[in-house]
């Protein structure tokens, strides 16, 4: 089976490498390094994966002039692993149906480290039967792949995930700023609380970065802003208030305006260091 992979950024490159390691015949495409054309991928691959920054990018690659749908054949499976608005996923899905293409939305969580070691959490929306068909492909990139509902449900799950991650990082930054300013060694605080109820994957991943002030991006602030904005927009559409999400995005937007948008979202720490 040939698998096409479009989008070789911080996440996409290691994900595609894990597909190759798993034995799949992978054709790669990235706009900065077009090893294969989109048309060639569309014509030759039974499964095509997209890993792109946002909904408009996915829509352009799939539906735009020279896009995938101009060259795909009936029965092709498109797996969009980008984090996009659920409404955008539905729009792309509807266009795929017209062309006989089956689509899943399958965003991921885990950042660059888990993309590299192939232990991403993958949340999937779309047809259950199609999901079962491509699940082995997904599990070559992730430790788990869970079907959560119809098309768009994967991105609803991802929005929920990224709300929780953002607020966890904010809480960690507040808590460790408190301990630091009170004169208590934050490394010892970390050791003391990480095994208790406050312990979390977020804290374990981000506190070492924060304490070392190492903000090399595993997940960039600007991308997290995009995801939280998608969450706020979706919340308005479905009537779900998200007040803490609004407060958190305000912090991230201020950091981005101050030139930190390309840093890891753990750089939220900088907003507390006044």
Catalytic residue ranges? 158
Enclosing H/E stretch for 123:
strand 120-125
What is the DSSP code (8-state) at residue 264? B
What is the DSSP code (8-state) at residue 228? H
Of 122, 264, 125, 146, the residue nearest 207 (C-alpha): 264
What is the DSSP code (8-state) at residue 85? -
Token digits for 32?
A: 């900065």
Angle at 126 between CA 243 and CA 156, to 5 degrees: 5
Of 107, 221, 93, the residue nearest 156 (C-alpha): 107
């Amino acid at each position: 089976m040939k698998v096409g992979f479009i989008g070789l950024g911080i996440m996409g490159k290691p994900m595609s490498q894990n597909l190759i390691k798993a034995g799949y015949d992978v054709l790669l495409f990235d706009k900065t390094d077009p090893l294969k054309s989109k048309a060639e991928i569309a014509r030759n691959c039974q499964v095509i994966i997209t890993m792109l920054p946002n909904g408009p990018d996915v829509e352009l690659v799939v539906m735009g002039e020279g896009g995938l749908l101009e060259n795909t054949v009936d029965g092709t499976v498109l797996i969009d692993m980008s984090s996009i608005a659920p409404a955008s996923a539905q729009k792309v899905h509807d266009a795929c149906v017209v062309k006989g293409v089956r689509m899943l939305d399958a965003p991921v969580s885990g950042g660059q480290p888990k993309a590299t070691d192939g232990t991403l959490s993958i949340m999937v929306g779309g047809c259950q039967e199609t999901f079962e068909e491509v699940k082995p492909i997904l599990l070559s990139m992730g430790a788990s792949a869970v079907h959560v509902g119809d098309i768009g449900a994967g991105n609803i799950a991802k929005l929920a995930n990224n709300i929780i991650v953002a607020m966890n990082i904010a809480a960690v930054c507040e808590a460790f700023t408190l301990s630091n300013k009170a004169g208590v060694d934050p490394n010892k605080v970390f050791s003391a609380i990480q095994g208790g109820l406050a312990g979390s994957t977020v804290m374990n991943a981000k506190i070492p970065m924060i304490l070392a002030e190492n903000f090399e991006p595993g997940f960039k602030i600007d991308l997290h802003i995009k995801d939280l904005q998608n969450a706020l927009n979706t919340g308005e559409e479905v009537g779900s208030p998200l007040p803490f999400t609004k407060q958190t995005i305000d912090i991230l937007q201020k950091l981005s305006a101050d030139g930190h948008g390309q840093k890891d979202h753990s750089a939220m720490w900088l907003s507390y260091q006044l």
